[in-house]
Structure 1
């Protein structure tokens, strides 16, 4: 992975949208299987479209469940973002689900699609697959240094909305509250002190740029749904107030 990874976030069941993000030049595209409207079959089509243009297919899984993690990895995901990691033990379970036994894990063997599209996938899987643990609870934040020290973990990934809620703050986009920024800085420091990456769902290009300047290694800068909504609203504002049209 590059020193800084520009990531796009896919929420809708739209393989063409995934391909467009990759064609635009994003380093990686995350298929959100936790809060997105996608099923597993659609996710596979998204992975194909992403890889077609040289971008890395990533997935945020629904939970820290080895069965779910195995399925997206066997389908060819090269990055896995796991939500709600609050303890070192949970982080260790996550890492082990991403690694085969010879790499210290307990991942079940069966890389049906991954081995088709990636040379020497099994032998190189620990190198190819990036495992990112989401820090988004009060407990996870308090344990962040211990979580970052988990053997085999590749990075921490900040879930800003849930992290804000955990500290009785509104889940506002582009949160610049000084107390919140201090927490972001602590998570970045914990990751870098442990020699691993730090990523964040930034939501907007402007906030993503600011977070990169603070030391973030990976930022999720745009979502397909927000781009579509912004574009639609912009088109309507150019035409004029809606409601003046007639059907037919």
Structure 2
């Protein structure tokens, strides 16, 4: 089966730099993938991406060594299974607030006897290889999003769920849940404390901690804090910021 380079990076002690895809287009996904990201996450929760667009984007990413991930819309078995069947090598699941939520995530993304994932890896066989069914459970990566006060209260219980590989912090939702302004980078002190607490506890339990960031500077600081998976910006934001920089230079003398 094709290796999951995220697992290889983490095993070597290196962090992974993840890009974010909100634009529902195969060519833009392919262009991003050819820039050298360790992984790219197709956002089905807040992006404009539906299932058919996601499949084309996964196909586009597979022209490169970049690892294809999907953030599913919610903790729901159908979309988790279909995303993996389409060839996603990892899933990021929103709003995992309890140990029971994390157990469902693992069960729905694992074949029996560990879980209840239905068998039908139609495109995953093409991407992962003919032996995908034998190795999928140990190859794909399962991220539980920690983004609420309830999840913080239940953090250690969530982290003890067998088969969970990683947690992923959504700073904006976490900020809202803690009564603070929603933002990626310039978070309020209670959120910064929570961000430090999450990575400390994840590391103690032997899990990877990942986090969403707006700028490389903040992402690097969080990697130094112990995070091992850092998302920086998104395709849509990079188009906007690149355009703004170009236009500012072109209009500098006006």
Common fold by TM > 0.5: yes
Deviation at 1:239, TM superposition (A): 2.1
2:120 is matched with which residue? 110
1:90 is matched with which residue? 101
**What is the root-mean-square deviation of aligned Cα atoms in Å?**
1.3
Q: C-alpha distance in 1, partners of 2:28/2:219?
A: 21
Q: C-alpha distance in 2, partners of 1:25/1:73?
A: 23
2:3 is matched with which residue? none
* SS of the residue 1:133 aligns to: strand
Q: Which moved more, 1:224-233 or 1:16-25?
A: 16-25
Q: C-alpha distance in 1, partners of 2:222/2:26?
A: 28
Q: Which moved more, 1:17-26 or 1:159-168?
A: 17-26
Matched, 1:217 2:228: yes
* SS of the residue 2:142 aligns to: strand
* SS of the residue 2:233 aligns to: strand
Q: C-alpha distance in 2, partners of 1:57/1:234?
A: 29
The TM-score, its normalising length taken from structure 1, stands at: 0.94
Aligned residue pairs: how many? 241
Q: C-alpha distance in 1, partners of 2:251/2:126?
A: 51
- Return structure 1 stretches of 4+ with deviation > 2 angstroms: 175-179
- Given that 2:171 and 2:187 are in contact with CA atoms closer than 8 Å, whether structure 1 keeps it comes out as no
* Cα deviation digits, residues 112-149 of structure 1 (max 9, x gap): 00012212111000122100000001101111111011
Deviation at 1:237, TM superposition (A): 1.3
Matched, 1:203 2:214: yes
Alignment match of 2:146 (pick from 135, 147, 154) = 135
2:193 is matched with which residue? 182
Q: C-alpha distance in 2, partners of 1:114/1:177?
A: 41
Gaps of 5+ in 2: 1-5
1:26 is matched with which residue? 37
* Cα deviation digits, residues 58-98 of structure 1 (max 9, x gap): 00000100001001000000010000000000110011011
1:69 is matched with which residue? 80
* SS of the residue 1:48 aligns to: helix
Matched, 1:161 2:182: no
Q: Which moved more, 1:169-178 or 1:130-139?
A: 169-178
- Given that 2:184 and 2:212 are in contact with CA atoms closer than 8 Å, whether structure 1 keeps it comes out as no
